[in-house]
Amino acid sequence: MQALSVDWPAAPRRPRSLQTAIRDTPKTDPRTTPVEPYLDQTNASLLDEASAAHSLQQVKFNPTVGHILINEHKDFKFNCSIKGPQFLFNQDSAVISLWKDGKELQEPGRMSTRHYQVMDDVETTMVSTFSITNAQRSDNGSYSCRLKIHNKEIESDPIFVQMEGLPHFLRQPQSLNVTRNRPFNLTCEAMGPPEPVQIYWFRNSKLVGSVINFSRRWVYFVVS
């Protein structure tokens, strides 16, 4: 019997300079449901919204003058400012607007507006200046500033604008054809300031009747 010898190829040697990095993967408890990454993002978003809502409750317009007296045909202006955390004011669309008697005021021909911001490491202050030229009696009313942030509208305290000057007639008595010994009405309407307006009736430059207190509405005077 002959003995067989088999030559097996030698196993390759591992280079001495080769380094192997091994990362340990944490074991997962089979009883615990793994948390998906998007849930962490959702929670973070909810926290941001909650933080913004809490911060918005603290944001208010700074106190300003509550009453302004103006003169007819003169220019007048007033300022509105508000301060809050920077992350609330990082929107380009956040602009202070002016409202009068519940309606947004937009008069490009008579009103000019300047907006600017002052920022520090923590807070941002927004300031808006509204200038109105050629004051008219229709400018009397209640004004306020509004700012919309994160779908919430913040409104300032009202600013009452009143025009100084002499009272004027809105409606004057009209000429009438009357019948002798029959009563007739004369109607007059006036408006201040100052208020209340008092109306005096004269006939042939002589005072007739008594003073009538007036509250910016129709006044009826009966002559018999």
Contacts of 134 by beta carbon, 8 Å cutoff, 6+ apart: 73, 74, 75, 110
Domain limits of the chain? Answer: 67-164, 168-223
Indicate whether 152 pLDDT > 60.
yes
Classify residue 137 by its DSSP letter: G
Mean pLDDT of 39-54: 50
Instruction: Assign 73 a pLDDT band (cuts: 50, 70, 90).
Output: confident
Indicate whether 222 pLDDT > 60.
no
Domain 168-223 is found in CATH 1.20.58.110: no
Lowest-confidence range among 79-88, 193-202, 212-221? 212-221
Indicate whether 96 pLDDT > 80.
yes
Arch. (CATH architecture) of 67-164? Sandwich (2.60)
Decide if 67-164 and 168-223 have a common fold. Answer: yes
Average pLDDT, the chain: 73
pLDDT at residue number 64: 87
Q: Which of 63, 58, 127, 128 is nearest to 88 (CA)?
A: 58
Q: Quickly list DSSP for 39-98.
A: HHHHHHHHHHHHHHHHHHHH--BPP--SEEEEETT--EEEEEEEEEEGGGS--TT---EE
> Tens digit of pLDDT for each residue in 157-188?
999 998 877 777 888 888 888 888 888 888 88
Indicate whether 1 pLDDT > 80.
no
pTM reported for the whole predicted model: 0.54
pLDDT at residue number 142: 94
What are the angstrom distances between the C-alpha of 137 and each of 73, 101, 173, 190? 9, 14, 22, 13
The pair of structure tokens assigned to 127 is 């300031």
Instruction: Assign 75 a pLDDT band (cuts: 50, 70, 90).
Output: very high
- Per cent of the chain over pLDDT 90 is 21
